């Protein structure tokens, strides 16, 4: 059994919270679906299935409803949750394809939803990921 630890990392995870977006764009089911179809191609990633999207109803609490969608890619996943009535969107892009440029994703969604402001977090995941199989 090998306990060798990789000095690199397993993956990269960008979280993006967008503010002041266009109500119309954030409430556009087809635009959200298009983002989930187009972005993996733009990043050189490989979808394992077609994107799925759901209408999320107002829960009478913090969530006034919107669209939630995701696409599973060979490299991991991308998810989008829109809140049109708050002009807000929450996005995750997680990949085991190291070295991607977060600014590409930031610009893509800023343009797609006409975001006025964004908060982003970039996380290196699996910093102790083994370089070889532990069990054969």
- Active-site residue among 13, 79, 90, 96? 96
Cα 101 to Cα 134: distance, rounded to the nearest angstrom:
31
- Active-site residue among 35, 68, 76, 77? 76
Identify whether the C-beta of residue 52 lies closer than 8 Å to the C-beta of residue 70: yes
Residue 32, phi-psi category: left (phi > 0), alpha (psi -120 to 50), beta (remainder): alpha
- Which helix (H) or strand (E) segment is 111 a member of? helix 102-113
- Active-site residue among 35, 68, 77, 81? 81
Q: Indicate if 35 belongs to the active site.
A: no
- Which helix (H) or strand (E) segment is 8 a member of? none
Cα 46 to Cα 3: distance, rounded to the nearest angstrom:
31
| β 66-73/52-56 pair status | antiparallel
Catalytic machinery residues:
76, 81, 96
């Amino acid at each position: 059994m090998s306990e060798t630890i990789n000095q690199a990392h397993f993956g990269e995870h960008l979280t993006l919270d967008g503010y002041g977006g266009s109500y119309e764009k954030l409430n556009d089911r087809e635009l959200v679906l298009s983002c989930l179809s187009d972005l993996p191609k733009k990043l050189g990633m490989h979808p394992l299935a077609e994107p799925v999207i759901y209408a999320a109803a107002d829960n009478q609490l913090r969530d006034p409803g919107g669209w939630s969608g995701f696409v599973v890619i060979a490299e991991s996943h991308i998810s989008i949750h829109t809140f049109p009535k708050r002009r807000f969107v929450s996005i995750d892009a997680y990949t085991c394809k190291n070295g991607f440029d977060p600014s590409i994703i930031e610009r893509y969604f800023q343009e797609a939803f006409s975001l006025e402001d964004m908060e982003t977090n970039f996380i290196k995941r699996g910093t102790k990921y083994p370089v070889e199989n532990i069990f054969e």
